[in-house]
Amino acid sequence: MKRVQLHNEPDSNDSGHRGFSLRGAARILACAVVILIANSLSTVLAEVQVYGYVRPMGQVSLTIVPTNEPVVAVLCKARYHIGVADLELEQAVSHAAQQHHVQPALLLAVMKAESSFNPTVVSKAGAVGLMQLIPETAIRHGVRNLYDTNENVIGGAKHLRYLLDRFHGNIRLALAAYNAGERKVDRYGQIPPYKETQDYVKKVLVYYRSYKKEGWIMPVVMTAPSAHARQPY
């Protein structure tokens, strides 16, 4: 959370369809397996590229070493940031949003604008982590470890809930207060006339609408389709 300074600111052939379906399903399953395994590995491996190979019959093989075998390679990159496992972040957002009655898409939009999903970034003003919490705000909401994904996201969600309640559900004012401080919003009775804050509110709202429209999270549990099922294109 940044503080604004006063002086600144195909063929139709059936066998072809089935082949496409099998390969598509296998690729999806490969990525799902890679994500789950990456989530359980030590963060020391965070920068290691994990390759999922789908063999001709649909079997999935995982390795950190590229191969010359004639198979389809599926490289699963971090959905959000290399510093945090996708599943860990999504579960933290889902839990915090439900616990503090904040829409997941809004929580994710603030996180994107604040830190671009970097869990270790520290601003010049001393704001830390995914939700860019300053120490004062962290203490107020019971956050002890600003670098812990769950604690940081929960702290941000609690603060957003507090601001939404304080400004009677006005999302724009709550976002302005998240960026510039609630006293600045109180002083002006509207979004403060700081370019940084005005741009921030616009940016978060763009992210918010996008996440709401497109869907913000991959399913945690994936069920592999039947090998004989026809898939929509």
Using the predicted structure, report yes or no on whether residue 47 has a pLDDT greater than 50: no
CATH 3.40.640.10 fits 86-214, yes or no: no
Question: 64: helix, coil or strand?
Answer: coil
Strand 60-63 relative to strand 51-54: parallel, antiparallel, unpaired?
antiparallel
Residue 128: the pLDDT is: 97
Rounded to the nearest angstrom, the gap between the alpha carbon of residue 179 and the centroid of all alpha carbons in its chain is 19
Cα Rg of the chain (Å, integer): 22
From the CB of residue 181, how many other CB atoms can be counted at a distance below 10 Å? Answer: 19
Tokens of 63: 């390795």
Alpha carbon distance 109, 100 (integer Å): 16
Using the predicted structure, report yes or no on whether residue 89 has a pLDDT greater than 90: yes
pLDDT tens sequence across 132-180: 999 999 999 999 999 999 999 999 999 999 999 999 999 999 999 999 9
CB-based contact 165:100 (threshold 8 Å): no
Using the predicted structure, report yes or no on whether residue 74 has a pLDDT greater than 70: no
Using the predicted structure, report yes or no on whether residue 187 has a pLDDT greater than 60: yes
Q: How many CA atoms lie within 13 A of 103 on its CB side?
A: 16
Give 197's pLDDT tier (boundaries 50, 70, 90): very high
N-term to C-term CA, the chain? 42
Give 78's pLDDT tier (boundaries 50, 70, 90): confident
Q: Which residues are catalytic?
A: 114
Give 66's pLDDT tier (boundaries 50, 70, 90): low
